């Protein structure tokens, strides 16, 4: 099944064509069997506007051409009224159909451009977030690489003995393979977060996805003496969303919480990350910090584009996070933390919500 940028499928197009054809037939009948002075053909513009939202652009243009043809046919078969009036009304209807089609195509093109721009901003935001995590990622990769070097040195010493200690050398090689695989897994997660692949909804464990992001930020948490307490409910249903995009949201919320906690004089520095079922069809993620928080008057603007409380912020992180969550069928919101700081939450559909 093929989709265009708006997610419209060919099978959906076939379902839409039938009702539109019936509506056009009704308009044709009204325009033909009424007086010349009644310009029923102008209602074809409504058909075109509806089709713009439901059909591909090429199909809309074909529909407009058919509407013009039907308008001319209707004029030819109309029997009552002043001919000159009918001619003027027909011309007006054709112009209205043409203008409506042109403007609708411009609207679709503008929406497509906006969609592509949002996707570019999303990729930029991913790279920016990872830039802030560079030190943490380096720390995470450095650990297994250091272990590889250490184990390689040990292996070399075991083999240099007389006689060589083959058993100890084999264990050292096993450690090398294990740590090298660990470094490879870390880099795979980083590549996934920076990829520009199209969104792809899959079933996955939100707890596992969250742990991966926290592992990437572990170095930054440790350097700033921030304690991250995890309350990830076991036995949660799988969620259905784009795993990489949801990890981007988790990473962005985590970075914001870290920055807010660092900026606050409040002690101790703590983050509380939880996951739980929200009803029977959604899974809820939340992260609470003891940071600077936000004013009640700021709450309604937190997710607005280019609005930020950070001195050096761009104001796109939370906007893109909301866009991601909503495009995956969920919602995101924020509230003040009773213990000081802020709490950000989002929910996404579970696989139970998609079962028939």
For residues 123 and 336, the model is more confident at: 336
Flag the least confident range among 47-61, 142-156, 177-191, 219-233: 177-191
Cβ neighbours around 314 below 10 Å, total: 14
Flag the least confident range among 69-78, 177-186, 207-216, 296-305: 296-305
Domain locations along the chain: 10-128, 133-183, 201-354
Indicate the CATH number for domain 201-354: 3.30.565.10
Q: Per-residue pLDDT tens for 209-246?
A: 999 888 878 777 888 888 889 999 998 999 999 887 88
Average pLDDT (28-33) is 85
Say if residue 41 is exposed, middle or buried (CB neighbours under 10 Å; 0-12, 13-18, 19+): buried
CA distance 101 to 48: 7
Task: Note the pTM of the prediction, 2 decimals.
Answer: 0.51
Per the DSSP assignment, residues forming a β-bridge with 203 are 240
Q: pLDDT-derived band of residue 130, with 50, 70 and 90 as boundaries?
A: low
pLDDT at res. 204: 93
For residues 220 and 143, the model is more confident at: 220
| pLDDT above 60 for 332 | yes
CA distance 63 to 85: 26
């Amino acid at each position: 099944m093929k989709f265009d940028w708006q997610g419209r499928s060919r099978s959906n197009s076939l379902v839409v064509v039938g009702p539109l054809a019936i509506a056009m037939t009704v308009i044709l009948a009204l325009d033909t069997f009424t007086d010349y002075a009644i310009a029923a053909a102008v209602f074809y513009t409504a058909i075109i506007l509806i089709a713009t939202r439901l059909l591909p652009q090429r199909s809309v243009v074909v529909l407009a051409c058919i509407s013009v043809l039907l308008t001319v046919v209707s004029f030819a078969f109309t029997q009552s009224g002043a001919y000159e009036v009918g001619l003027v009304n027909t011309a007006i209807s054709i112009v209205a159909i043409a203008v409506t089609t042109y403007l609708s195509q411009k609207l679709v093109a503008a929406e497509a451009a906006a969609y592509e721009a949002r996707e570019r901003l999303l990729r930029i935001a991913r790279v920016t977030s990872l830039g802030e995590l560079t030190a943490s990622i380096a720390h995470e990769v450095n650990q297994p690489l250091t272990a590889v070097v250490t184990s390689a040195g040990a292996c070399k010493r075991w083999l240099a003995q007389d006689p060589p200690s083959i058993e100890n050398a084999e264990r050292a090689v096993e450690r090398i393979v294990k740590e090298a695989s660990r470094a490879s897994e870390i880099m795979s997660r980083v590549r996934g977060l920076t990829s520009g692949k199209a969104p792809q909804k899959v079933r996955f464990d939100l707890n596992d996805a969250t742990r991966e992001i926290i592992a990437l930020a572990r170095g930054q948490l440790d350097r700033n003496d921030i304690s991250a307490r995890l309350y990830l409910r076991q036995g949660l249903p799988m969620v259905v969303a784009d795993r990489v995009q949801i990890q981007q949201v988790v990473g962005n919320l985590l970075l914001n919480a870290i920055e807010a906690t660092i900026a606050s004089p409040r002690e101790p520095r703590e983050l509380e990350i939880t996951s739980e079922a929200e009803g029977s069809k959604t899974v809820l993620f939340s992260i609470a910090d003891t940071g600077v928080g936000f004013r009640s008057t700021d709450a309604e603007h937190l997710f607005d584009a280019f609005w930020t409380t950070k001195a050096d912020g761009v104001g796109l992180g939370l906007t893109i996070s909301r866009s991601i969550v909503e495009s995956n069928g969920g919602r995101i919101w924020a509230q003040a933390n009773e213990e000081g700081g802020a709490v950000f939450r989002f929910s996404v559909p579970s696989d139970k919500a998609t079962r028939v």
